[in-house]
């Protein structure tokens, strides 16, 4: 899909100041791609909330898949292989998987990995920092599958996927960490985001070997009110093994994958006309998305969303929030945005942890069913 040359200005008055954006190019109307919200984070006040990501706003799977395909089509076809695609935790791990699926359909020499905040007990490859984040530390595991490892380590191209780029600094941090850890054959770097506000920062830092692709490009300015009190941010930065450890044998991306099979709830039956929402949990979103996509293909009225550890204030694009404890046993708050009790006929909460790890308060509030990844 070609970008449409536009010049649009949008703004939002937040508690801590005024956010102004200028959109230069976009593949669709900017207000169809994103909205505004306010972080409960003293390090950065504002948030661009994607309307096609399926994280903070429920989205039809077909709309999500279209964004995967549109982004993948913008990635240069002539990247030297192998190509390592990395999705950024937590918000963009599903987006990264979707971009990889679409891009890998055109060439066989690709592998997908995600940054994570969940140690698996296997060897780490590197870690890096997302400095403005509510949870700044990211881990990159070393693949244990020899075939995947043999594609990752000699990677000649990196495709780094996030939902948006504000300054580009996190991409640069990740690139440098990967090279320092041993990815010494990298020749090309592509950053791949839904909305890019970074004014070419990655290319300006890394050089002409870097490309930046997105569905929207523009710039922003935040005029902060210096007299406003900073918010208290919940402690959601845990990078640790929780009460419910994850099994490397059930991996779908943290240890690197070539593709992921749709195996979640294969016998699930849905009544005609039911309004269904499939909810992923934290980083566990790709297999739940594949389930939602399967239901939509079968004619079900389905939306997709996910729980999150991102603390966001009510207002603007965030109309409703539920708060509960995480399902990994880390003892940190998690949130579900813009999904109200009674809004859907059937709520399917999908988890890579045991069913009893999913907070009962969330299940009861939504009258939900819990679907466990048995893969």
Q: Mean pLDDT, the chain, as a whole number?
A: 93
User: What's the pLDDT tens digit per position in 147-166?
Assistant: 999 999 999 999 999 999 98
pLDDT value at position 41? 85
Residue 318: pLDDT band (50, 70, 90) is: very high
Which CATH number characterizes residue 286's domain? 3.40.50.2020
pLDDT value at position 137? 83
From residue 4, give the alpha-carbon distance in Å to each of 26, 28, 68, 197, 211.
6, 7, 18, 17, 19
| Structural domain includes residue 238 | no
Closest CA to 87 of 333, 204, 228, 254: 254
Residue 101 has pLDDT above 80, yes or no: yes
State the total domains in the chain: 1
Residue 4: pLDDT band (50, 70, 90) is: low
| Structural domain includes residue 316 | yes
Residue 211 has pLDDT above 90, yes or no: yes
User: What's the pLDDT tens digit per position in 185-197?
Assistant: 999 999 999 999 9
| Structural domain includes residue 75 | no
| Structural domain includes residue 277 | yes
Q: In this structure, are residues 256 and 143 in contact, taking their beta carbons and an 8 Å threshold?
A: yes
Residue 374: pLDDT band (50, 70, 90) is: confident
* Segment among 62-76, 91-105, 214-228, 294-308 with least mean pLDDT: 214-228
Q: Which residues contact 179 (CB under 8 A, 6 or more apart)?
A: 186
| Structural domain includes residue 280 | yes
The secondary structure element, H or E, covering residue 288 is helix 286-297
| Structural domain includes residue 44 | no
From residue 297, give the alpha-carbon distance in Å to each of 14, 61, 168.
39, 9, 36
Cis peptide preceding 21, ω within 30 of 0: no
The parent domain of residue 270 ranges over 260-372
Residue 128 has pLDDT above 80, yes or no: yes
pLDDT value at position 206? 94
pLDDT value at position 100? 98
| Structural domain includes residue 296 | yes
- The pTM of the full predicted model, rounded to 2 decimals, is 0.95
Q: In this structure, are residues 190 and 157 in contact, taking their beta carbons and an 8 Å threshold?
A: yes
Q: Distance between CA atoms of 160 and 339, rounded to whole angstroms?
A: 29
| Structural domain includes residue 286 | yes
């Amino acid at each position: 899909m070609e970008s449409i040359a536009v010049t649009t200005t949008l703004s939002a008055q937040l508690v801590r100041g005024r956010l102004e954006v200028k959109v230069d190019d976009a593949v669709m109307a900017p207000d169809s791609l994103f909205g505004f919200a306010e972080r409960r984070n003293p390090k950065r006040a504002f948030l661009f909330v994607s309307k096609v990501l399926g994280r903070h706003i429920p989205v039809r799977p077909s709309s999500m898949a279209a964004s995967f395909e549109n982004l993948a089509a913008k990635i240069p076809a002539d990247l030297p292989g192998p190509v390592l695609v990395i999705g950024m935790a937590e918000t963009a791990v599903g987006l990264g998987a979707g971009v990889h699926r679409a891009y890998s359909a055109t060439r066989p020499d690709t592998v997908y990995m995600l940054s994570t905040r969940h140690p698996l007990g296997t060897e780490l490859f590197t870690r890096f920092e997302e400095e403005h984040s509510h949870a700044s530390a990211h881990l990159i595991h070393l693949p244990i599958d020899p075939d995947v490892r043999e594609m990752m380590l000699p990677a000649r191209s990196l495709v780094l996927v996030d939902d948006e780029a504000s300054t580009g600094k996190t991409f640069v941090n990740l690139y440098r960490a990967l090279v320092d850890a041993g990815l010494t054959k990298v020749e090309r770097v592509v950053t791949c985001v839904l909305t890019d506000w970074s004014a070419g920062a990655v290319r300006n830092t890394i050089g002409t070997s870097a490309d930046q692709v997105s569905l929207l490009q523009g710039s922003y300015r935040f005029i902060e009110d210096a007299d406003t009190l900073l918010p208290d941010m919940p402690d959601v930065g845990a990078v640790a093994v929780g009460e419910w450890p994850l099994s490397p044998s059930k991996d779908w991306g943290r240890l690197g994958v070539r593709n992921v099979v749709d195996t979640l709830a294969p016998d699930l039956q849905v009544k005609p006309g039911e309004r269904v929402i499939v909810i992923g949990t934290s980083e566990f979103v790709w297999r739940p998305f594949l389930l939602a996509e399967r239901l939509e293909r079968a004619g079900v009225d389905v939306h997709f969303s996910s729980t999150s550890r991102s603390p966001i204030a009510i207002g603007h694009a965030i109309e409703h929030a539920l708060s509960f404890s995480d399902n990994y046993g880390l003892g940190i708050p998690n949130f579900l945005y813009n999904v109200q009790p009674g809004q859907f006929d059937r709520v399917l909460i999908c988890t890579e942890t045991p069913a009893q790890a999913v907070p009962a308060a969330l299940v009861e509030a939504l009258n939900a069913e819990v679907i466990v990844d048995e893969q």
